[in-house]
Each structure stands twice: as C-alpha cells, then as structure tokens.
C-alpha cells in the first residue's frame, strides 16, 4: 500500500487550468491491504497484528507455498509479524519495521483510500525546463475524474482523464530552490495534492552526475573568507564558519564540485571534554548535538546557514546536511528530560572500543564517549523523532539531501524509516540524496557489510571504504592495482540491482590523510610531532593518480577538503587541519589542485564518465585499464604505478585522444603511460577532449 506523501503548505499563487471534456474514470485507489507470506517450515503461517487485536489469525492459502491476508485498514501506521509453528518473525519482504512489544515487527503505512491522490512519478529540472509527471488516483469508494489541475503560474498543464496521467512543464524557469505544488481538482471541490522540492539550475542533472566536496566548516575559512590560524591543539576550534564556506564558494566552484556535504550543523556544547585518549576536545566538528533543530552559533547560526544555502543554490551547487541520529550530547534536552531507560541505551560504562566494550559485540548499544548517550532507535518515538528532525532540516533550510552518520551503529529499520521520510518530503526520489557512512575494513567483508544497507528502500549511496583501502594500498606500493579491480568486480556483483551510487573516496575526516600515508609518516599519534607537509613529487603524482581513479569510476566522487592540495595529517584529529591560504601552498601542490579541477571538468562534460557502464580491459600489478560506455559515448581509462614510462596494449578499436594531455592514439595498439600517471582517452572529435 502506498503511503501518503506529506506536503508542506505552498504560499505561491496558483493558476487553474481546466477543460470541458467527458469525465472518464481513471484508476482508483484500492481500499484493501494485502500481506503475503511464504511458509518456510511447511506449517501454515499466521499473522499477528494490531489489526488482528494481536491474535494469531490464519492466512489464506494461495499457490506455490504462498499465503495471504487481506482486509481494509484505517489510515496510518500498522504493525504485524508472522507466526509459524510458534516462531515469530517480521515480514522479510516488508521494507519498513519497528521494534515494539519486545520484538521487531513489520510496518505498513496505509493511505486514506477515501481521498483521491496525486502521486509524483518524476520531477526533472534543467536550466531551460522543469517537468513534473504525476498520476491521479481516484478515491476508492467514490470514483472520480480530474476536472482541472492547478499549478504555479507559468506552468503548462495537461492530463489524460482515462489514465490519470498529469504533466506540468515550465519553460525558462527561474533558477534556485523551488517547491512546486500541483492540485488535481475533482468533483464537489475535492482536490488531490502533490508537492515537489527541486533545485533549478543545479550543476548536476541527476545525482549520478554529482561531484561532492566534503566541507569541515570549522577548518575551511573564517567569516571574512580569510585562511584560519592553526587551532591551539588539534582538538580545539579553529573558528571556521558558514559565512567562511560562503566566501569559499568561488574556490569550491573552480575545483569542480557540484554539491557540498557540510559537517553537522546542530548546536553543540561549549567548552572542552575529555576524549577517549585523555586529550581535551571541543565540539568543533558538530557531531555532539545538544539540540536537534538549532544551528550552532559558533558557526554563524541560522542566518549564516540561510545565506550559505541561498548563495550555493544561486551557483547551482546542491547542499547536503550531515545527520547524526545515533547519539546526542548529555546536555541535549531529550536526554535530560526523557525516560532514559526507554529512549537511550543504558551505558554501564560501555564506551565503544574500550576494554569489555567491543565494537563488534556492542555496536548497536555502545556510547562514543561517556557524555554521548546512544539513542535507542528501537523505541518507535525515537525513530520518528530522528525522521522528523531530518525532515525539519530539509524543509526549513531548503537542503538537497543528507549524509547519515554511523549507519551500522543503528538498526537498519531506523535508517530506512529516516530515508523514507527524506524522500517523502522531497516529493520525488530523484530530488534528494540519502548517503550513508558504513565504515568498513577492506576486501570482501567490507563489501558485504555495505550491501546489508543498500536497496531501493534504503540508502541511495554509501561510502566505498573497501575501494579506498585497495586504492591506498596500490598507490603506496603495498599491493597491486589488480587489487582495485578485484574489489570493483566484487562490488559490481554484490551490489547489482540495489540502485546504489557508490561514494568513491580517497579519504575523509576519520582516516589519516593520504599524503602522509604515502609519505610513510607516523600516523598513530595525532598529538605528537605532526607529520610534515610533503612536497615529494612521487607522493603528489600518486595522489593525482588516485584522483584520476575515483573521478573516472561509476558512482559519486567525494573529495575531502584539502586532498586536492595533498594536505598532510595523521590520525583524527590531526587529519582535520585548516585549509591553507594559497600563498602558503607550493606551485607543485597548486598544480595538483589544477589537475583535480581538470578531472572534475572532464567528468562533468563526459556522459560516458558519469553514466557509462564499466568494462575491465587490463588488470595487473602496476597497470589498470577499463572502459566506460554509454551508447555512442566512450572513455578508456588507463592507470600506471610504474616509476618509469610503460606501455599498455588495449584491444579497443578507433582513433583516441588523451583528454588530459592531447596525445593521440590509434587502437588497437600500444598506449604509453608516463611514470605514475593516468590517461583518459576519448574518441577523436569528442567535444569533451581538451576542454
């Protein structure tokens, strides 16, 4: 049963469009909810639900071992579970669930069949056109047809009375974030309402075209746009603000990012707190919410966030919030005033990773720190609060999507519930992005851990840590490039059909900086003598090679601020150094940044690099090559970690140009690669070559 999409009020004036035609009844909403179950043991399954008064009720046999229950339910959320031979289990086919009465139960959100609905199928926004496609569904008990459709002024509206299909098109739309409402008017003045939030003029047409920059607000720029001084310790604030991010938008735009992932925006506590390592930390990072719906004054508060979002949208940049539903700070009102045993996991001194509190065994209940209570998202009221908080940030500040922190530390059902709320508020799935942090180790195990959280009802994207570890090993020489191909092949098989857009990364704020790792510096003591800023040509070349990898693979490249300048850093928190002033950056490191910008421009231009299917061509210890193909668009990517000039034989036919250098190649034949380099070959005449 399709749940109703919650829609906020629209203040813009609406125009009415109608026509005189015979009424033809379109499809009607079903008033029946049907649940299916398959017997696993041979015993007939029974359903136990709030709509069966919690009594086991026999299900009707169907065929091929399936059983069904059908009935009319009141609008709203309902829970159920299956009983088979005395064993209770939730519905494995249901996407939503909730912990209730001491067990996990499946969740159905039943819409009101007594009201007509307008369901959005797609919402597309380009600089020259906005197009919404929706379907009118008549009320179940009172079939009706569309008499007129209301849309914002400037929209051309058409509809098909027989199918219920509704199309609304605006030509030459104004740029910026918009909420667009449609109302299908039926008999006796009743309406079916739909509303979509979209960004007109976005630098990426769809999320698969995006390039995301991870922004650590406190470490980027001061309110006046100037470079920040190094904080007095790695754990203290540096003073970066949202106005500083706004001042840095030209830098971000020039780098080629199309979206910003902002560090958490919540109000955090003031003062310093002892970390697990005994050092003092301030909440400069934003991950200690003391209020779930206030912008931290330390980064500029609500006015600064509104200014930043408006300025970013004016440049076509999308903005992602960093959501932290797993925990709060002990100063948070919900912790101070709640029934702690019901709303938060009891700590008993269990701090994640400490002696007797193993990450694996206690992942869902451990606390990050003694002052960071772990939210008990098994509690339905906490799960709904997390969803409502997420929707608040999207609607109140017109944000475009979210990165969800610490996904494996929360029940999968809560992540799905939150993702569903985010998509419902946007009105169309393609208009928001739900990206999750599933921190894993390397290899097949990491791939399978991420797989658990993917799917049409789950995350749109997850950070690809297995690829990151393989890339770091290959770039350092500890392993071969064929290890990258092995990870990619495993991922492509394991994640097939999930619809995921892997978030390709070289690093982030939780791992040592790539530059320091490749330089062989000591990384385990972020409070000791910090690793020096490397200027090694070999290290810079390897980092450039890494960027070429993640910017030419399927998925969404995510760049961590400073990696474009080979910023140094040991383990957290030293890996969060301030972005230096350009005057303090060497020509070699500025050249690296220019290389990254050339790669982002190339990806944004080439449809093959954004959307093409990947086909492996060469996989060896020091050489890797693959094709990206989308119809007639084709790109050939070749990478080498050889420290001398090398050649690859590629069994591809045609005339190609290296879009990074202009060098021409006739294939099949040999492609030469300079030491520690990458080539991106496009067919001769491709307009994206040498842009």
Strand partners, 143: none
Buried b (16+ CB within 10 A) or exposed e, 480-506: bbbbbbbbbebbeeebeebebbbbbbb
Cα 242 from chain centroid?
A: 21
pLDDT over 60 at 279, yes or no: yes
Cis amide leading into 573 (omega within 30): yes
Pairing of strands 60-61, 57-58: unpaired
Provide DSSP, 256-297.
Answer: T-SEEEEPP-EE---S-EE-TTS-EE--TTS-S-SEEEEE-G
**Is residue 331 included in any domain, yes or no?**
no
> Is the Cα torsion angle 455, 460, 462, 468 positive or negative in sign?
positive
Q: Are residues 141 and 288 in the same domain?
A: no
Q: Are residues 520 and 666 in the same domain?
A: no
pLDDT over 80 at 18, yes or no: no
**Is residue 340 included in any domain, yes or no?**
no
Q: Name 123's Cβ contacts closer than 8 Å, sequence gap at least 6.
A: 130, 131, 132, 133, 180, 196, 198, 427, 428, 430, 431
Q: Are residues 460 and 540 in the same domain?
A: yes
Q: Range of 671's domain?
A: 610-683
Strand partners, 66: 38
Cis amide leading into 155 (omega within 30): no
- Identity of the highest mean pLDDT range in 13-22, 347-356, 545-554: 545-554
pTM to 2 decimals? 0.94
Q: How many CA atoms lie within 13 A of 446 on its CB side?
A: 19
The torsion of the CA quartet 362, 367, 368, 370, rounded to 10 degrees, works out to -140
pLDDT band (50, 70, 90) for residue 683: very high
**Is residue 365 included in any domain, yes or no?**
no
Domain end residue (candidates: 588, 608, 628): 608
Q: Are residues 89 and 152 in the same domain?
A: no
Q: Are residues 419 and 486 in the same domain?
A: yes
**Is residue 649 included in any domain, yes or no?**
yes
Residue 128 CB neighbour total at 10 angstroms: 11
Average pLDDT across the chain, whole number: 92
Q: Name 162's Cβ contacts closer than 8 Å, sequence gap at least 6.
A: 24, 26
Dist CA 503 CA 559 (whole Å) = 10
Q: Are residues 496 and 398 in the same domain?
A: yes
**Is residue 368 included in any domain, yes or no?**
no
The torsion of the CA quartet 298, 299, 304, 309, rounded to 10 degrees, works out to -150
pLDDT over 60 at 86, yes or no: yes
Domain end residue (candidates: 584, 608, 632): 608
Mean pLDDT on 177-197: 89
The pLDDT score that the predictor gives to residue 19 is 37
CB 465 within 8 A of CB 440: yes
What are the start-end ranges of the H helices in 128-272? 242-247, 249-255
CB 454 within 8 A of CB 495: yes
User: Which of 8 and 592 is assigned the larger pLDDT?
Assistant: 592
Each residue's pLDDT tens digit, 657-680: 999 999 999 999 999 999 999 999
Joined together, the tokens standing for residue 183 give 């109302």
**Is residue 362 included in any domain, yes or no?**
no
Each residue's pLDDT tens digit, 252-278: 999 999 999 999 999 999 999 999 889
Environment class of residue 394 by beta-carbon count within 10 Å: exposed (0-12), middle (13-18) or buried (19+)? buried
Q: Are residues 604 and 617 in the same domain?
A: no
The pLDDT score that the predictor gives to residue 502 is 98
**Is residue 298 included in any domain, yes or no?**
yes
pLDDT band (50, 70, 90) for residue 27: confident
Dist CA 646 CA 658 (whole Å) = 16
Q: Are residues 81 and 141 in the same domain?
A: no
CB 197 within 8 A of CB 424: no
Environment class of residue 529 by beta-carbon count within 10 Å: exposed (0-12), middle (13-18) or buried (19+)? exposed
Q: Are residues 188 and 305 in the same domain?
A: no
Q: Is 192 helix (H, G, I), strand (E, B) or coil?
A: strand
pLDDT over 50 at 330, yes or no: yes
Q: Name 358's Cβ contacts closer than 8 Å, sequence gap at least 6.
A: none
Domain end residue (candidates: 67, 91, 110): 110
The pLDDT score that the predictor gives to residue 24 is 52
Provide DSSP, 91-121.
Answer: -TT-S-EEEETTEEEEEEEE--TTS-EEEEE
Dist CA 102 CA 296 (whole Å) = 37
Joined together, the tokens standing for residue 532 give 């020096």
pLDDT band (50, 70, 90) for residue 25: low
Each residue's pLDDT tens digit, 599-650: 999 999 999 999 999 999 999 999 999 999 999 999 999 999 999 999 999 9
Most distant CA pair in the chain, distance = 81
CATH of the domain at 678: 2.60.40.1180
Each residue's pLDDT tens digit, 534-545: 999 999 999 999
Q: Are residues 595 and 545 in the same domain?
A: yes
CB 303 within 8 A of CB 242: no
Q: Are residues 297 and 284 in the same domain?
A: yes
CATH of the domain at 193: 2.60.40
Q: Are residues 179 and 260 in the same domain?
A: no
Joined together, the tokens standing for residue 268 give 């955090």
CATH of the domain at 59: 2.60.40.10
Q: Name 311's Cβ contacts closer than 8 Å, sequence gap at least 6.
A: 246, 249
Residue 261 CB neighbour total at 10 angstroms: 26
The pLDDT score that the predictor gives to residue 691 is 58
Cα 395 from chain centroid?
A: 17
Closest CA to 198 of 170, 225, 229: 170
Residue 45 CB neighbour total at 10 angstroms: 23
Buried b (16+ CB within 10 A) or exposed e, 548-577: bbbbbbbbbbbbbbbbbbbbbbbbbbbbbb
Strand-by-strand arrangement of the 503-504 sheet: 461-462, 433-436, 401-404, 318-323, 259-262, 212-215, 556-560, 503-504
**Is residue 410 included in any domain, yes or no?**
yes
User: In angstroms, how far is the first alpha carbon of the chain from the final one?
Assistant: 49
Radius of gyration over alpha carbons of the chain, in Å?
27
Report how many domains make up the chain. 4
Percent of the chain with pLDDT over 90: 85
Closest CA to 606 of 563, 560, 551, 651: 551
**DSSP summary character for residue 459:** B
Dist CA 608 CA 605 (whole Å) = 9
CATH of the domain at 599: 3.20.20.80
Percent of the chain with pLDDT over 70: 96
Environment class of residue 404 by beta-carbon count within 10 Å: exposed (0-12), middle (13-18) or buried (19+)? buried
Tokens 């693959």 -> residue: 626
């Amino acid at each position: 049963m399709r749940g109703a999409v919650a829609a906020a009020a629209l203040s813009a004036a609406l125009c009415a469009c109608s026509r005189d035609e015979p009424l033809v009844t379109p499809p009607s909403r079903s008033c029946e909810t049907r649940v299916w179950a398959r017997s696993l043991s041979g015993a007939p399954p029974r359903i136990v639900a709030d709509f069966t008064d919690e009594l086991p009720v026999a299900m009707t046999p169907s065929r091929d071992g399936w059983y069904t229950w059908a009935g009319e339910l009141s609008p709203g959320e309902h829970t159920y579970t299956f009983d088979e031979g005395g064993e209770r289990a939730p519905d494995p086919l249901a996407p939503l669930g909730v912990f209730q009465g001491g067990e996990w139960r499946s969740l159905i959100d039943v819409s009101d069949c007594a009201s007509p609905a307008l369901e959005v199928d797609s919402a597309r926004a380009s600089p020259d056109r906005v197009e919404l496609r929706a379907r009118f569904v008549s009320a179940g008990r009172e079939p009706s047809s569309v008499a007129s459709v209301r849309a914002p002024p400037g929209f051309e509206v058409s509809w098909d009375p027989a199918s219920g299909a509704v199309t609304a098109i605006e030509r030459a739309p104004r740029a910026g974030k918009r909420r667009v409402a449609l109302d299908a008017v039926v008999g006796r003045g009743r309406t079916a309402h739909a509303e979509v939030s979209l960004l007109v003029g976005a630098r990426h047409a769809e999320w698969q075209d995006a390039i995301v920059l991870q922004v650590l607000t406190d470490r980027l720029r001061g309110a006046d746009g100037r470079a920040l001084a190094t904080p007095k310790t790695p754990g203290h604030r540096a003073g970066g603000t949202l106005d500083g991010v706004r001042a840095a938008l030209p830098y971000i735009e020039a780098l080629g990012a199309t979206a910003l992932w902002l560090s958490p925006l919540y109000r955090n506590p003031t003062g310093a707190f002892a970390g697990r390592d005994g050092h003092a930390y301030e909440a400069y990072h934003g991950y200690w919410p003391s209020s779930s719906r206030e912008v931290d004054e330390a980064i500029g508060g609500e006015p600064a966030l509104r200014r930043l979002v408006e300025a970013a949208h004016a440049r076509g940049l999308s903005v992602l919030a960093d959501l932290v539903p797993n925990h709060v700070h002990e100063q948070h009102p919900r912790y101070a005033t709640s029934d702690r045993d019901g709303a938060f996991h009891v700590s008993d001194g269990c701090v994640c990773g400490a002696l007797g509190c193993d990450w694996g065994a206690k992942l869902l209940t451990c606390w990050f720190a003694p002052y960071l209570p772990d939210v008990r998202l098994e509690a339905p009221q906490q799960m709904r609060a997390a969803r409502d908080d997420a929707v608040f940030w999207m609607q109140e500040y017109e944000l475009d999507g979210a990165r969800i922190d610490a996904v494996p530390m929360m029940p999968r059902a809560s992540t799905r519930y939150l993702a569903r709320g985010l998509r419902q508020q946007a009105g169309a799935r393609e208009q928001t992005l739900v990206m999750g942090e599933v921190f894993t180790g390397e290899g097949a195990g990491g791939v399978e851990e991420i797989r658990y959280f993917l799917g049409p009802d789950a995350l749109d994207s997850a950070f690809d840590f297995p690829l990151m570890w393989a890339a770091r090993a290959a770039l350092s020489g500890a392993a071969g490039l064929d290890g990258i191909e092995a990870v990619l092949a495993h991922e492509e098989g394991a994640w097939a059909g999930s619809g995921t857009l892997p978030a390709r990364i070289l690093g982030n704020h939780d791992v040592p900086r790539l530059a320091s790792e490749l330089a062989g510096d000591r990384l385990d003591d972020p409070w000791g003598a910090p690793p020096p800023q490397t200027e090694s040509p070999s290290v810079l070349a390897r980092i450039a090679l890494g960027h070429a990898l993640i910017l030419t693979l399927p998925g969404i490249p995510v760049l961590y601020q400073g990696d474009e300048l080979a910023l140094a850093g040991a383990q957290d928190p030293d890996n969060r150094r301030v972005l230096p002033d350009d005057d303090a950056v060497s020509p070699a490191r500025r050249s690296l940044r220019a290389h990254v910008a050339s790669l982002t421009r190339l990806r944004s231009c080439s449809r093959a690099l954004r959307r093409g299917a990947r086909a492996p061509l060469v996989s060896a210890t020091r050489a890797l090559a693959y094709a990206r193909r989308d119809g007639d668009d084709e790109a050939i990517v070749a990478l080498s970690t050889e420290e001398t000039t090398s050649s690859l034989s590629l069994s591809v036919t045609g005339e190609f140009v290296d879009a990074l250098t202009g060098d021409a190649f006739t294939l099949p034949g040999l492609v030469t690669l300079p030491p520690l380099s990458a080539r991106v070959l496009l067919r001769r005449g491709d307009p994206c070559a040498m842009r």
